[in-house]
Amino acid sequence: MQLPSDTTLPPARRRRRPRYSPGGILQPDDIDGRSRYARRFRRLCQEFEAELGGHPSAADKAAIAQAVSFQLEEERLRAERASGADIDHDTIIRVGSEARRARAALKAKLEASKPPPPSIRDLLMAEAADDDADETEVEA
């Protein structure tokens, strides 16, 4: 079937893929990821992910990115303050507190995902089982 010659089709809309960093964090188009800040951001995200078990969910990745962003901002403010810039102490304290809270939330999630340590009873039963196995080997 042919369209009449006077019919024009609307231009095709092209969908752009969102830009993701290697860590899976959505980045704006104007960030190329090669700056010192971006490299440190990626490295810290990878370290936090490794501490959480290596395969974090999307919510965990967002929490990690938030914690790393606060930490990097705190480091930047402290470096500027150390170089003599006039930085408001209250701002440094607020950003530092937010960074600490974000890290504490990640640490709490990590602690919740760890299996509980064995109880003394479990340890004694395991030791008794090992002793029984050793006695059986000696008799045989």
Q: Where are the domains of the chain?
A: 36-113
Tens digits of per-residue pLDDT, 122-140?
888 888 888 777 666 656 5
- d(CA 115, CA 118) in angstroms, rounded, equals 9
96, two tokens:
């530092």
Cβ atoms of 29 and 66 closer than 8 Å: no
Query: What pLDDT is stored for residue 15 in this prediction?
Result: 64
Could you tell me the pTM of the whole model?
Answer: 0.60
Quickly count: other Cβ atoms within 10 Å of residue 14's Cβ: 5
Tens digits of per-residue pLDDT, 73-83?
999 999 999 99
Torsion 15-18-22-24 (CA) sign? negative
pLDDT over 90, % of the chain: 31
